[in-house]
């Protein structure tokens, strides 16, 4: 893996009526070529600011931002134009030109760049529209399209100059859940086909869970947690991350608390990942170590390509610690909550 994007000690504030409004503090992040990197945070956390620094739509007040090892803040006019061709962007509200057709919208960045002939532009636009499934809509106007189709135009337009990085700013937040899934699937496909690096910001953990390899949690302008999505999702270490995970899973913390109070014995959370998810381990361990158990909550699903299961158990019996060792040996994560 090679690093394609790096934030080093980046800070940003806005000047509003003679006052500094802090947006980002001391951000350090590294994105590897070819990965899908998610940034999650509440509204106002600084996500859009962070992503807009990459193609210098905003300038940092401190720190360095390296794209392919080059500090973008040092680029001259020409360098900046080259950078922007190499970094595509899509937006929550699509930002299409309403007076131009679908094909003209996709052709727009190519015309601006002035590097391609009309013939080249035409064939490239046709290929892009085909890729995003909109060939039949080439001469329609944005107002004639659904939200999902508009975002597909946005994606085609962002890919027109063959960028190596695609920035997505809440790209599915205006879409219904089903359309969201189909847009996420398209992003996943182009990530793999083109080895395109994607940096995606969202306030929805389910978007992160479906698409991303790694994630950083942003809160009040600071990265409070980052890592593999599987790790952050199954074992969120920061209260803000925990809230995002619980929200997406509809976990009712009060109900859990009630369950805790009504069950005696030990409380254990077991996490299965990958192949162990499908093994009939629970019954075997309970029998072998003569334990009684009750399941207080559970979820079995997948995170991108990794199946997982997580169970909250109340346990009673003489040989609990042997049973927990048994689980650990089998590759499960065991958390002793009580």
Ligand X SMILES: Nc1ncnc2c1ncn2[C@@H]1O[C@H](COP(=O)(O)OP(=O)(O)O)[C@@H](O)[C@H]1O
Does residue number 59 form part of the binding site for ligand X (CB under 6 A)? no
**Binding-residue pattern over the window 12 to 41 for ligand X, x denoting contact by CB under 6 A:** --x-x----x-x-----------------x
Among residues 24 and 134, whose Cβ is nearest to ligand X?
24
In the complex, minimum distance from the CB of residue 229 to Mg ion, in angstroms, rounded to a whole number: 20
User: Are 199 and 30 in contact, with CB atoms under 8 Å apart?
Assistant: no
User: Can you name the residues that pair with 8 across neighbouring β-strands?
Assistant: 64
Does residue number 48 form part of the binding site for ligand X (CB under 6 A)? yes
Q: Classify 67 as helix, strand or coil.
A: strand
Element (H, E) at 303: strand 292-303
Does residue number 168 form part of the binding site for ligand X (CB under 6 A)? no
Does residue number 49 form part of the binding site for ligand X (CB under 6 A)? yes
Residues in contact with ligand X, counted by CB under 6 A, come to a total of 12
User: Are 329 and 279 in contact, with CB atoms under 8 Å apart?
Assistant: no
Residue 60 binds: one of ligand X, Mg ion, none (C-beta under 5 to 8 A by kind): none
Does residue number 202 form part of the binding site for Mg ion (CB under 5 A)? no
In the complex, minimum distance from the CB of residue 201 to Mg ion, in angstroms, rounded to a whole number: 7
Span near ligand X by CB under 6 A; candidates 43-51, 131-139, 208-216, 247-255: 43-51
In the complex, minimum distance from the CB of residue 241 to ligand X, in angstroms, rounded to a whole number: 15
User: Are 333 and 271 in contact, with CB atoms under 8 Å apart?
Assistant: yes
Does residue number 43 form part of the binding site for ligand X (CB under 6 A)? yes
Among residues 48 and 161, whose Cβ is nearest to ligand X?
48
Q: State how far the Cα of 215 lies from the Cα of 219, in Å rounded to an integer.
A: 13
**19-32: strand order across its sheet:** 19-32, 3-16, 62-67, 70-71
Question: DSSP per residue over 87-130, as a string?
Answer: EEEEETT----TTS-HHHHHHHHHHHHT-S-HHHHHHHHHHHHH
Q: State how far the Cα of 198 lies from the Cα of 166, in Å rounded to an integer.
A: 5
Among residues 247 and 279, whose Cβ is nearest to Mg ion?
247
Does residue number 148 form part of the binding site for ligand X (CB under 6 A)? no
Judged by CB under 5 A, the chain residues 13 through 52 that form the site for Mg ion are 48
In the complex, minimum distance from the CB of residue 47 to Mg ion, in angstroms, rounded to a whole number: 5
Give the β-pairing of 214-219 and 36-40: parallel
Q: State how far the Cα of 23 lies from the Cα of 34, in Å rounded to an integer.
A: 28
User: Can you name the residues that pair with 71 across neighbouring β-strands?
Assistant: 66
Binding site for ligand X (CB under 6 A): 14, 16, 21, 23, 41, 43-49
């Amino acid at each position: 893996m090679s690093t394609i994007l790096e934030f080093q000690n980046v800070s940003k504030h806005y000047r509003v009526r003679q006052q500094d409004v802090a947006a980002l503090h001391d951000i350090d992040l590294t994105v590897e070529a070819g990965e899908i990197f998610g940034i999650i945070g509440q509204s106002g956390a600084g996500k859009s600011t962070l992503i807009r620094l990459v193609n210098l739509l905003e300038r940092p007040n401190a720190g360095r931002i390296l794209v392919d090892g080059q500090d973008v803040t040092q680029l001259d006019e020409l360098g900046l134009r080259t950078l922007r061709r190499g970094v595509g962007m899509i937006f929550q509200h699509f930002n299409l030109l309403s007076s131009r057709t679908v094909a003209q919208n996709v052709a727009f960045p190519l015309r601006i760049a002035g590097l391609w002939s009309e013939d080249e532009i035409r064939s490239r636009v046709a290929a892009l529209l085909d890729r995003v499934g909109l060939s039949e809509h080439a001469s329609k106007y944005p107002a004639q399209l659904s939200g999902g189709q508009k975002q597909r135009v946005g994606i085609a337009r962002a890919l027109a100059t063959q960028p190596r990085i695609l920035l997505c700013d809440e790209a599915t937040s205006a879409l219904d859940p089903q359309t969201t899934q189909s847009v996420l699937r398209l992003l996943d496909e182009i990530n793999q086909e083109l080895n395109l690096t994607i940096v995606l910001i969202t306030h929805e953990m389910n978007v992160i869970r479906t698409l991303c390899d790694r994630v950083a949690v942003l809160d009040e302008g600071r990265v409070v947690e980052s890592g593999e999505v599987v790790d952050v999702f199954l074992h969120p270490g920061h209260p803000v991350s925990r809230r995002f995970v619980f929200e997406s899973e509809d976990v009712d913390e009060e109900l859990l608390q009630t369950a805790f109070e009504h069950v005696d014995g030990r409380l254990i959370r077991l996490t299965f990942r990958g192949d162990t998810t499908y093994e009939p381990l629970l019954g075997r361990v309970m029998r072998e170590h003569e334990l009684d158990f009750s399941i207080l909550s559970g979820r079995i699903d997948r995170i991108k390509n990794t199946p997982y299961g997580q169970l909250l158990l109340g346990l009673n019996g003489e040989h609990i610690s042997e049973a927990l060792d048994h689980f650990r040996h089998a590759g499960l994560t065991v958390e002793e909550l009580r």
